[in-house]
């Protein structure tokens, strides 16, 4: 049976090594690239992200990846965004200044308030009958972020609670965003990533 090919976008903004290690442990075929021809071969493209939204969008534009990702989404070819990568899937972010995003999932990214940062372990509450994430309910995942998704409820799959409730999994078709780091969340993170990749590839 053919191994699924997962290509991680290399755009100078991601914590790529831990994602590669996690995916290889799950027995996926993994590549790292910013080459559109390589990305087009992928069963799933992963957009990681550590850093600031404006810098990340500039890197994507500089690599001519914005148009490709928008076209890939229109064709409903799977994309998973992780942490900052999730936020880039939206229409824009108010981090530092307003910056337009990829526009793949309606909604915007706004700063957390009181407290202004969420670091540590937290659980998911599923808002929809989503079989992909149901197995991960009540398990803990690692978060490290100061901004959150704000958008229509139809795109919110899971929420988490830290002083206030915020969306922790968002999605539109085969475009999925995770506000947490599954690759840093030990066994629960590996399980969720495995289920998510298989789920969106078979949907």
Is 126 annotated as catalytic? no
* DSSP element (H, E) containing 113: none
Is 22 annotated as catalytic? no
Among 22, 59, 118, 183, which one carries the catalytic annotation? 183
Query: Can you list the pairs that 131-134 forms with residues at least 24 positions away whose Cβ atoms lie under 8 Å?
Result: 131/199, 132/195, 132/196, 132/199, 132/200, 133/157, 133/158, 133/169, 133/192, 133/195, 133/196
Among 22, 59, 83, 145, which one carries the catalytic annotation? 83
Is 183 annotated as catalytic? yes
In whole angstroms, what is the distance from residue 169 CA to residue 176 CA?
A: 7
Among 118, 145, 181, 194, which one carries the catalytic annotation? 181
> For residue 91, what is the DSSP state?
S
In whole angstroms, what is the distance from residue 27 CA to residue 37 CA?
A: 23
Catalytic residues, by residue number, are: 83, 181, 183
């Amino acid at each position: 049976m053919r191994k699924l090919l997962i290509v991680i976008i290399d755009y100078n903004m991601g914590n790529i090594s831990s994602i590669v290690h996690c995916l290889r442990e799950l027995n996926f075929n993994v590549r790292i690239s910013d080459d559109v021809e390589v990305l087009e071969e992928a069963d799933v493209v992963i957009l990681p992200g550590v850093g600031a939204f404006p810098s990340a969008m500039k890197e994507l534009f500089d690599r001519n990846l914005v148009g490709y990702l928008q076209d890939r989404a229109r064709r409903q070819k799977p994309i998973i965004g992780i942490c900052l990568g999730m936020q880039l899937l939206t229409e824009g972010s108010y981090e530092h200044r307003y910056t337009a995003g990829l526009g793949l999932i309606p909604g915007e990214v706004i700063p957390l308030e009181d407290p202004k940062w969420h670091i540590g372990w937290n659980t998911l509450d599923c808002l929809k009958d989503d079989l992909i994430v149901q197995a991960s309910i009540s398990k803990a995942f690692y978060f490290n972020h100061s901004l959150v998704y704000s958008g229509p409820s139809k795109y919110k799959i899971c929420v988490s609670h830290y002083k206030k409730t915020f969306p922790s999994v968002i999605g539109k078709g085969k475009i999925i965003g995770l506000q947490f780091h599954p690759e840093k969340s030990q066994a629960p993170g590996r399980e969720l990533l495995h289920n998510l990749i298989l789920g969106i590839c078979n949907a």
